[in-house]
Amino acid sequence: MGLKKLVAGNWKMHGLSNDLDEVKAIATAAAVYPAVDVALCVPAILVERAARAVPGFAIGGQDVHHAEKGAHTGCTSALMLLDAGASLTIVGHSERREAQRESDSEVKAKAEAALSVGLGVILCVGESLEVRDGGGAVAAVMQQLDGSLPDDIDGEAELAVAYEPIWAIGTGKIPTESEISEMHAAIRARLRERYGDAGSGIRILYGGSVKSSNAAEIFAIRDVDGALVGGASLKNQDFVPIVAAAAAVSGK
Ligand code: 13P
């Protein structure tokens, strides 16, 4: 029996007040699939309004600062996200690792800060096309995991890992089934080495050009415990079929 699937949307820098209707539509439609956990990670400024609009539905942030508080202009602390109504946050997305030059150790500190206040974490890892073509994808992702996984996962809040090959994000390109399966198996093995039996309970999401047309195939791959969805999470009619595909694979 696999882990319950988690389908999380990452709205990235999309979403204004008007889009709260879309959040509501997604939350309403997702409730039809109790066999799947569904979450939407929205821009920080929308978190509070989104959380108020859909009580009981998981709203997340997309990043968090590692410090509890202090002189960090423009940043959002874990407690602020929680206070605004978020129940989880993404950390270490490749767009931040690249554009904001976030290091593995910074991502680790962010994950630990979020977990320590009770926010669930989706920690992203993934290789570039150059690394994939050079045959070093698994080694690169293992190195990212070693540097960015939190030391302690004993608290209440859940850690999930998202494998997002950078070259598959927003491109319509998807790794082959065997590439996904090889990577997810390697991540699972690393999680077990690191956390023992608890490593078997950590959900490993796939992210990168997930759409309703490919979701069923991706969810059927062993050790794929869900998806982190970008572009196709912005609209109810694109996102909900992905949730439905996860439910179908779960036998519900
Ligand atoms: P796309 O689904 O748009 O490829 O984005 C994936 C992603 O980066 C989710 O975090």
pLDDT tens-place string over residues 131-189? 999 999 999 999 999 999 999 998 899 999 999 999 999 999 999 999 999 999 999 99
pLDDT mean over 44-62: 98
User: What spacing in Å lies between the alpha carbon of 208 and ligand 1's midpoint?
Assistant: 5
Question: If you search the block for the tokens 């998806």, which residue do you land on?
Answer: 227
- pLDDT at residue 2 greater than cutoff 90: no
pLDDT tens-place string over residues 208-244? 999 999 999 999 999 999 999 999 999 999 999 999 9
User: What spacing in Å lies between the alpha carbon of 184 and ligand 1's midpoint?
Assistant: 17
Q: Which of 60, 50, 64, 59 is nearest to 19 (CA)?
A: 50
Ligand 1, closest atom to CA 94? 8
Nearest CA to ligand 1 atom 7: 230
What is the phi-psi region of residue 16: left when phi exceeds 0, alpha when psi lies from -120 to 50, beta otherwise?
A: beta
Q: How confident is the model at residue 252 (pLDDT cuts 50, 70, 90)?
A: low
pLDDT reported for residue 1: 58
- Strand pairing class (5-10; 88-91): unpaired
pLDDT reported for residue 251: 78
Scanning the chain, the segments in alpha helix (DSSP H) are 20-30, 44-53, 78-84, 94-99, 104-117, 129-133, 137-148, 177-195, 212-219, 236-249
- Strand pairing class (226-229; 88-91): unpaired
pLDDT mean over 38-54: 98
pLDDT tens-place string over residues 68-115? 999 999 999 999 999 999 999 999 999 999 999 999 999 999 999 999
Enzyme catalytic residues = 93, 164
- pLDDT at residue 37 greater than cutoff 80: yes
Ligand 1, closest atom to CA 169? 4
Instruction: Provide the mean pLDDT of the chain.
Output: 97
User: What spacing in Å lies between the alpha carbon of 171 and ligand 1's midpoint?
Assistant: 9
Ligand 1, closest atom to CA 170? 4
Residue 55 CA to residue 244 CA, distance in Å, equals: 21
User: What spacing in Å lies between the alpha carbon of 62 and ligand 1's midpoint?
Assistant: 12
User: What is the model's pTM?
Assistant: 0.98
Ligand 1, closest atom to CA 172? 4
Residues with CB under 6 A from ligand 1: 10, 93, 164, 169-170, 207-210, 228-232
pLDDT tens-place string over residues 199-210? 999 999 999 999
How many angstroms separate the Cα of 149 from the Cα of each of 48, 122, 130?
Answer: 28, 11, 24
